[in-house]
Structure 1
């Protein structure tokens, strides 16, 4: 049975993940997550429209090797066109409950910000932003570029999902004090181009607060 993971029960998958996460190195764990755990989770979610509790715990255990998890599970999931919003929300709830190391998380944020826009990708990006970690300049730059590119990729009269506006607001709330004057101006351009009547005014207030908090030169 161990050599036939496609026949594993949810409980067997959890037990295997628990053992492998504790004993494999990062490279081997990444291979296990990408080639076995992710396909099992995706297939069961597609069939059942929910994630079995044992598989949910398996995903949590997989985070014991965070770099392997990000590379072998999270990023492939985010780039999978068949990943649904509901599936991403379940994985996001795991991330929300677990401690994440800052450096691999920042690298993952950069990679997510470089992906084409999708609902699942936006869900995962937002939950990582909401972890409120200290981010390096590269990650801040990548997020500003991510939001600003929507001026070019989406027309002004093309409504963006509420989730996108919420993610932009979360970013401004968490990291407004880390933004340069140029970055604030770029994000204000985004707010002028893509406007949501309930969310954008709050986003603008956050950016204005960032501008006011800077000492005058």
Structure 2
């Protein structure tokens, strides 16, 4: 093997230049060197000093064209002036006496009396309509007093007051026109009248879609009135109760219960031979109780306050006993019933709510104690016994069995929630209003009780709120 020469080793050690590697990888190199700042400045000065022949030729041509256009416009103006000069008003020779100096003009403007005749001639040519418009404009620039200018804020306030007065007039007119009728379009009245006819015989299936959208309407009461609710079938009443009670708020559901269920409840019991309530209406009342405040204010309280029979009270009380009601709603309803005059129907509802065995607040417990204490007698100055509540006891000389049942249920459930003084008053009441069947049992329950720990509110007791 021969030795490698020095030249061959030098050739192997050489490599390709850097610019080739850069260009092969997609890069770019500046081929021309950058111009220095001095060369740029010199070039700019040269450009500013010299203009080539082509550009100077174009500039001269444009200047020539513009000059020709200006000359044409001047010629046109001269022609127009010659034409108008033929028809120009010729001044008579007498007018030469008038001078056009500034002094003469000043003297003319100083004498205002000279223009009176001209003003009168102008007024003759003004029409009556233009004069009225001018007066309105002048009046709009004055206030109601006629002293100062009428600003924008006063105008806006005046327009607002006018709008309010117009709205009040329209509302009053609509109320007068409405009266006791229903203001609905004729097509709506016709459609919902047909739906009412369908609901009068409806027993099963799907309700009409037009009927399902009634709870979403703002004037749902008027639309419901058109359907003739007293003619609905009991099945339709149940489905309608489910629909309205679930989709309406408490206050709106109260209106529906009062409008539909209360009258149907009374009429169905009165019309039935056995004085029983239809099963579907009974279910409808149970559904209505899922909004307790609406049920109490829309059904129970009006039923009691307008006169309720014991038979109706028993049917309605059976619904209360079967449905779970929140304690606060029950306690407020119980307190309201205790404020009403004594009636056997009211006693049935009071006994039903007591037998539900709620953990009533002390406020409601005290109301129950005072209610039973009303029926005790006290001695007068002569030692004779007299009624504490004469107007109550004289109406019912003999207390009903329901009253003693309610008293016994209260003694059994709340004997540990009363104070010693309240216990003594209740024992005195049962001694005076003794009953052979209930008296001994009530006495035994009251004596077996323990006084409540404090006069305040229970630690675990919720606050009494105005939930209605």
Out of 116, 121, 131, the position equivalent to 2:341 is 116
Cα deviation for residue 214 of structure 1 reads: 6.8
Alignment partner, residue 99 of structure 1: 324
Which runs of 5 or more structure 1 residues have no equivalent in the other structure? none
Matched, 1:24 2:248: yes
Query: Within 5 Å, which residues of 2 pair with 1:138-157?
Result: 138-151=363-376, 152=388, 153-154=392-393
Conservation of the 8 A alpha-carbon contact between 2:417 and 2:452: no
| Larger relative contact order (CA 8 Å, sep ≥ 6) | 1
TM-score by length of 1: 0.93
Deviates more, 1:192-201 or 1:51-60: 192-201
Conservation of the 8 A alpha-carbon contact between 1:126 and 1:170: yes
Alignment partner, residue 233 of structure 2: 9
Query: Within 5 Å, which residues of 2 pair with 1:43-122?
Result: 43-48=267-272, 49-81=275-307, 83-122=308-347
TM-score by length of 2: 0.44
Conservation of the 8 A alpha-carbon contact between 1:169 and 1:202: yes
Alignment partner, residue 176 of structure 1: 415
Matched, 1:35 2:259: yes
Cα deviation for residue 118 of structure 1 reads: 1.1
Conservation of the 8 A alpha-carbon contact between 2:229 and 2:260: yes
Cα deviation for residue 159 of structure 1 reads: 2.3
Matched, 1:206 2:445: yes
Matched residue count: 212
The 4+ residue runs of structure 1 with deviation greater than 3 A are: none
CA-to-aligned-CA distance 1:153-184 (integer Å, 9 cap, x gap): 326x9321111111100011111111111211
Alignment RMSD, CA only? Answer: 1.6
Which runs of 5 or more structure 2 residues have no equivalent in the other structure? 1-195, 197-223, 377-387, 454-468
CA-to-aligned-CA distance 1:10-52 (integer Å, 9 cap, x gap): 1111111111111110000111112221111111111111100
Measured in 1, the distance between the counterparts of 2:299 and 2:236 equals 18
CA-to-aligned-CA distance 1:134-168 (integer Å, 9 cap, x gap): 1011111111111111232326x932111111110
Alignment partner, residue 459 of structure 2: none
Measured in 2, the distance between the counterparts of 1:145 and 1:19 equals 41
Measured in 2, the distance between the counterparts of 1:21 and 1:122 equals 28
